[in-house]
Amino acid sequence: MTRSPAIAVEPRPGLSSPLPGRALTLGFTIFYLSVIVLLPIAALILRACHLSAAQLWALATNERALAAYELSLGASLIAALINAVFGSLLAWVLVRYKFPGRRLLDGLVDFPFALPTAVAGLTLANLFSEHGWLGRFLVPLGIQGSFTQLGVVIALTFVGLPFAVRTLQPVLENLDQSVEEASACLGAGRWRTIVSVIAPTLFPTVLTGFGLSFARALGEYGSIKFISGNLPRTEIAPVLMVTRLDQYDYTGAIAVALVLMLFSFALLFALNWLHAWAAKFQQS
Amino acid sequence: MNAPRAARSPNEEHSIVRWLLIALAGAFALVFLLLPLVNVFAQAFSSGLGPYWKAVTNKDTGSAIRLTLLVAAISVPLNVVFGLAASWAIAKFNFRGKALLLTLIDLPFSISPVVAGLLFVLLYGVNGLFGTWLTEHHVKIIFALPGIVLATIFVTFPYVARELIPIMEAQGSEQEEAALTLGASGWQTFWMVTVPSVKWGLLYGIILCNARAMGEFGAVEVVSGHIAGQTDTLPLRVDKLYNEFDPVAPFAVATLLALLALVTLGIKLFLEWKTRDEL
Quick check: B130 pLDDT over 70?
yes
Contact of B51 with B248, CB cutoff 8 Å: yes
Residue B10 scores a pLDDT above 70: no
pLDDT tens per residue, range B80-113: 999 999 999 999 999 999 999 999 999 999 999 9
Length of chain B: 279
End-to-end CA distance of chain A: 28
Question: Of A228, A225, A38, A61, which Cα lies nearest the Cα of A151?
Answer: A228
pLDDT average, residue stretch B39-60: 95
The ipTM, to two decimals, is 0.92
Contacts of B36 in chain A (CB under 8 A): 115, 120, 123-124, 127, 158
Helices B199-215 and B159-171 sit at what angle, rounded to 10 degrees? 170
Cβ distance B149 to B216 under 8 Å?
Answer: no
Pairwise CA distance, residues B77 & B205, whole Å: 11
- Mutation target to probe the A interface, by most A beta carbons within 10 A, among B118, B150, B267 is B118
Q: Which of A214, A233, A210, A235 is nearest to A224 (CA)?
A: A235
| Distance (Å) from the alpha carbon of B257 to chain A's nearest alpha carbon | 7
Asked if A74 is an interface residue toward chain B (Cβ–Cβ < 8 A), one would say no
Instruction: Look at A142-151, B5-14, B233-242, B270-279 and tell me which has the smallest mean pLDDT.
Output: B5-14
A172/B contact by beta carbon, under 8 A: no
Give me the pLDDT at residue A5, please: 46
Share of chain A above pLDDT 70, in %: 93
Q: CB atoms < 10 A from the CB of A85, how many?
A: 14
User: CA of A112: how far to CAs of A77, A136, B212, in Å?
Assistant: 18, 24, 11
Residue B13 has pLDDT above 60, yes or no: yes
d(CA B123, CA A157) in angstroms, rounded, equals 33
Q: Mean pLDDT for chain B?
A: 92
- Distance from the Cα of A25 to chain B's closest Cα (Å) equals 5
User: According to the per-residue pLDDT averaged within each range, which of A175-184, B170-179, B247-256 is highest?
Assistant: B247-256
Which chain B residue is nearest to residue A109, measuring alpha carbons? B33
Instruction: Give residue A51's identity as a one-letter amino acid code.
Output: L
**Is B157 in CB contact (< 8 Å) with chain A?**
yes
- In this predicted structure, what is the pLDDT of residue A16? 66
Rounded Cα–Cα distance for residues A66 and A47 (Å):
22
Which residue of B31, B38, B114 to mutate against A (max A Cβ within 10 Å)? B114
pLDDT tier at B190, thresholds 50, 70, 90: very high
pLDDT at B15: 87
- If you measure CA to CA, which chain B residue comes closest to A134? B31
Band (B31; pLDDT cuts 50, 70, 90): very high
Taking the Cβ of residue A186 and every Cβ of chain B, the question of whether any pair is shorter than 8 Å is answered with no
A contact test, residue of B33, B95, B142, B234 with most A CBs within 10 A: B33
C-alpha closest to that of A75 among A207, A268, A238, A262? A238
Q: How many CB atoms lie within 10 A of CB B184?
A: 16
pLDDT, chain A, mean? 90
Domain boundaries, chain A: 62-283
Contact between chains at B113 and A218 (C-beta distance less than 8 A): no
pLDDT at site A3: 45
pLDDT at A258 over 70: yes
For chain B, positions 115-154, list CB contacts with chain A under 8 A: 115-116, 118-123, 127-129, 150, 153-154
Contact B21 A93 (CB under 8 A): yes
What is the rounded average pLDDT of the residues A14-24?
79
Sequence letter at residue A222: G
Query: pLDDT confidence of B9, banded at 50, 70, 90?
Result: low
Q: Is A75's Cβ below 8 Å from some Cβ in B? A: no
> Are B239 and A225 a contacting pair at CB < 8 A?
yes
On chain B, the residues whose CB falls within 8 A of the CB of A3 are 162
Q: Please answer whether residues A113 and B229 qualify as being in contact, where contact means their C-beta atoms are separated by less than 8 angstroms.
A: no
Query: What percent of chain B clears pLDDT 70, i.e. is strictly above it?
Result: 95
State the pLDDT at residue A11. 47
φ and ψ at A11, to 5 degrees?
A: -65, 165
Highest-scoring range by mean pLDDT, A5-14, A94-103, B9-18: A94-103
Question: What pLDDT score does B63 carry?
Answer: 96
**b/e A131-146 (16+ beta carbons within 10 angstroms → b):** ebbbbeebbeeeebbb
Smallest Cβ–Cβ distance between A44 and the set B119, B190, B239 belongs to B119
pLDDT of B1 strictly over 60:
no
Rounded to whole angstroms, the Cα distance separating B139 from B209 reads 28
Mean pLDDT of B256-264: 96
If pLDDT is split at 50, 70 and 90, which confidence band does A181 have? confident
A116 burial type by CB count under 10 A (0-12 exposed, 13-18 middle, 19+ buried): buried
Please spell the DSSP secondary structure of A29-55, one letter per residue.
HHHHHIIIIIHHHHHHHHHHHHS-HHH
Q: Which of A115, A214, A267 to mutate to test the interface with B (most CBs of B within 10 A)?
A: A115
How near does any CA of chain B get to the CA of A264, in Å? 6
- Of B201 and B277, the one with more pLDDT: B201
B229: confidence class by pLDDT, cuts 50, 70, 90: confident
Q: Is the Cβ pair A116, B216 closer than 8 Å?
A: yes
- Under CATH, domain A62-283 is a member of which superfamily? MetI-like (1.10.3720.10)
Q: Which of B85, B180, B217 sits opposite A117 (nearest CB)?
A: B217
Looking at the complex, does the CB of residue A218 fall below 8 Å from at least one CB of chain B?
yes
pLDDT digits (tens, 9 = 90+) for B201-224: 999 999 999 999 999 999 999 999
Interface check A33 vs B, CB under 8 A: yes
Q: What is the pTM of this model?
A: 0.92
Residues in B closer than 8 angstroms to A6, CB to CB, are 102, 162, 165-166, 169
The predicted pLDDT at position A121 comes to 97
Mean pLDDT of A218-244: 95
CB B1 within 8 A of CB A187: yes
What was the pLDDT predicted at B228? 84
User: Do residues B182 and A85 lie in contact, with contact meaning Cβ atoms separated by under 8 Å?
Assistant: no
Chain A residues with CB under 8 Å of B101 CB are: 29-30, 33
From chain A, pick out residues whose CB is under 8 angstroms from the CB of B247. Answer: none
pLDDT surpasses 50 at A129: yes
